[in-house]
Amino acid sequence: MFDEPIPDIPFPVIGEYKVLDVDEPLVDLEALGFEILSVYYAKLLPGSTYEAYARKTAAEMLVEASRKLPEGFTFVILDAWRSISVQQALWDEYRKMVVEQNPGDSEEEIDLKTSFFVSKPSYDVMIPSVHNTGGSIDLTIRDSSGHLLDMGTKFDEFQKTANSCHFEAAGMDTRIRDNRRLLYNVMLSAGFTNLPSEWWHYDYGTKFWGYFKGKDPLYRGILER
C-alpha cells in the first residue's frame, strides 16, 4: 500500500500568496511520544533547543501517519518549528559556505545560491520561512530493530541524491528506494506534501503545501516562543 513510486516533481516556484492566518498553538512532539533527534541542537546552532514543536493539526496528522508504519517502526523527528534566530543562524552558516565557494559573486547571486540550501529568514510573519510556521517537519524512520532506515543521504546533505525520487531510476539501490517510498507514501496519506528536493521534508499549511494542494497557506510565522 505504501510502496507507490515517488514521482519526479519540479521544485515549487511560488509568487505572491495570502496566508489565511489559522490560529493554532505549537505542540510538543516529544509529549506525543515521538523520538526527537535534534540535529541543530547537537551542532550547538545558536538559538536551537532540544525540543521539537509543530502546529496542532500538523502534529495530529503526524500521529495519524505514525500509526500506518509497519509494526515496530517509528518516526524520528530531526527538525520542525524553528525560531527566527535558528533560521538566521542556518542562513548565515550556509551563506558563508557559498561565499567561500563563489568568490566574486554579487550579493544577490550569493543570496540566490544560499536559498537553494536554506530559506532566507523572513521577519514578516505574513511571508514566513516555512519552518517558522510550525507546519514543516523533517523526519526519518527507525525500524523494529532500532536502526534508522538507510535513506541514501544524511539529513541536510544537499545533493541531487537527496531528491526524493532520486533512487527511482533504474539500477539504483532498491532498498533505499523502498525506504523513501515508505516515508513518502505514509506521510502523503496523512495529508502532508513533500518538498521534492529533500526526502526528509514534509509540509502542512505552509506555502509549499499550498502550492502543491492549490490552496492558500494556513499559518503565519511564529518568530519566537
Structure confidence by residue, pLDDT tens digits, 63-72? 999 999 999 9
Taking 90 as the threshold, does the pLDDT of residue 223 lie above it? yes
The residue extents of the domains of the chain are 26-213
pTM above 0.75, yes or no: yes
Sheet order of strands, 35-36 included: 35-36, 74-79, 136-142, 201-203, 193-194
pLDDT at 144: 97
Mean of the per-residue pLDDT values for the chain?
96
Categorize the per-residue pLDDT at 92 as very low, low, confident or very high, splitting at 50, 70 and 90: very high
Composition of the chain by helix, strand, coil, percent to 5: 35, 10, 55
| 95-126 pLDDT tens trace | 999 999 999 899 999 999 998 889 999 999 99
Residue 185 CA, distance from chain mean position: 15
Q: What is 26-213's CATH number?
A: 3.30.1380.10
Q: Determine the Cα–Cα distance for residues 172 and 77; give it in Å rounded to an integer.
A: 26
| 18-44 pLDDT tens trace | 999 999 999 999 999 999 999 999 999
pLDDT at 71: 97
The answer to whether the beta carbons of residues 53 and 29 sit under 8 Å apart is yes
